[in-house]
Amino acid sequence: MDLPILWDQVLRAMRRRINPQDFEVWLEPALPIQLENGVLTLEVNNKYYRDWIIENQLVPLNEEIRQILGFSVTIEFVYRDDHTTQDAPLPVQAVAAASRGVGVNAYQNFDNFVVGECNKFAHAAARAVADRPALSYNPLYIYGSSGLGKTHLLHAIANEMLARDPEAKVVYVPCEEFLNELVNGMRHSRMDEIRAKYRKHATALIIDDIQILSGKERTQEEFFHTFNALQNSGRQIVLSSDVVPRDIQKLEPRLRTRFEGGLLADMQAPDKETLLAILGKKADGLRMHVPNDLADAIAHQVSGNIRELEGLLNRLAALHSFYNEPITLEFARKRLPNLFAPAPSQVTVAAIIEAVARFHNLRSADLTGDRRTRTLTRPRHIAMFLSRKHTNLSFPELGREFGNRDHSTIQHGVGKVEEELSDNPDLSYKIRLIEQSLNLRMGT
């Protein structure tokens, strides 16, 4: 296929998958240079663009290319006006099951992972597993809200295993991709090949977002046998999830007990000090200088979400490169006014709902809607509590703000949070982070 035609088809498909601003800023400027021997070379403006594509659109980009061509490719990057890579060419998608590091991101390792009180237990467990695979904790199950660095830690484990053992073959796969691979394998009679990839060739299997198995009976059956095959032969399994195993709905009991049979390690949202350290590390990697007032503003904006912090830094780096203006708080307010506008003098219920939803990687509509799940109930109660605490609205008025709920429902939600605050430091900490993002203070 002619390369411009291929890339045009890829872009048209990707335009439907990501939001228009991200597409226009990051992906549309990329140009295909050549496709030879299964390697697609893309030209991008600089390393910020390369890193954003790798971090955010790796899987869907490769899915679309594979859909069009019928086979996977390796992607390498060159920078605009310099058709040699400034770093070593980065293969971002393994093409053979026998590859030593399938799906592993070489840039996420222990050296650039910032350790704080929020993640030091998970980090210690990850190091132990990487140092002594299948001898320390098997499986290792890392859980916590989205955007706290779980994926970084998974790749760090993989990279350490690969560095320590020249015979290691580590497979990292997002659970959604694993699910799609199984579905396609069943459809095209390729299950023997897929089972060999995960059960025979892999010395370690790392699966991200395992909660996606919820309700997928056929996939759970297949994964159960894969899990047993690996564990019984002394190979390491590492899983991540946004919840503990018992909170994954419609998960087979035999899988739940196996997940709980290893070590459960939680990751919390970072405190401000750790978040600023992470920001500094990320900024150094992007060769950015972020002044203290802007760093504080970013820390307030992202509410402890590391993935959101990375995205914000990448956007600032791209805007700096485009406009060639110094990176300051004034620059951020000018170029990203919706994010860095001065806080309103009086907080609204809508602003509180949005802040709570963003902290938990949800939509505001999730908190005001009718769905009742464990993943929604706690954030909804927190939003009710903060709305009662920081506005002058009555319970009936708050009920209308939360999707026309009865006032007794609001009272119940507020009461649940108040009951737990005194003896639940994690809940207190989460509320403090959300209040910081709204420029509010505890006790006000």
Better-predicted residue by pLDDT, 66 or 444: 66
On the 0-12 / 13-18 / 19+ scale of CB atoms within 10 A, 68 is: middle
Give the distance from CA 128 to its chain's centroid.
23
Q: Does pLDDT of 98 surpass 60?
A: no
Taking alpha carbons only, the member of 74, 97, 51, 101 closest to residue 206 is 101
Listed in order, the ranges of the chain carrying CATH 1.10.1750.10 are 349-437
Tokens of 208: 């991200």
CA–CA distance, 149 with 113 (Å, rounded to integer): 8
Listed in order, the ranges of the chain carrying CATH 3.40.50.300 are 120-266
The model's pLDDT over 213-232, given as tens digits with 9 standing for 90+, comes to: 998 998 899 999 999 999 99
Listed in order, the ranges of the chain carrying CATH 1.10.8 are 272-340
Domain 272-340 fold is Helicase, Ruva Protein; domain 3 (1.10.8)
Domain 349-437 fold is Chromosomal Replication Initiator Protein Dnaa; Chain: A; (1.10.1750)
Q: Does pLDDT of 320 surpass 60?
A: yes
Supply the pLDDT for residue 161: 93
What pTM, to 2 d.p., does this model score?
0.63
The model's pLDDT over 285-317, given as tens digits with 9 standing for 90+, comes to: 778 899 999 998 898 888 778 888 888 888 888
8 A C-beta contact, residue 385 and residue 414: yes
Question: Does the 120-266 domain belong in CATH 3.40.50.300?
Answer: yes
Listed in order, the ranges of the chain carrying CATH 3.30.300.180 are 3-93
At 240, is the secondary structure helix, strand, or coil? Answer: strand
Which segments within 308-444 are labelled E, that is strand?
A: none
The model's pLDDT over 14-53, given as tens digits with 9 standing for 90+, comes to: 988 887 767 877 888 888 888 887 888 998 877 777 878 8
Q: Does pLDDT of 234 surpass 80?
A: yes
* In this structure, CATH architecture of domain 3-93: 2-Layer Sandwich (3.30)
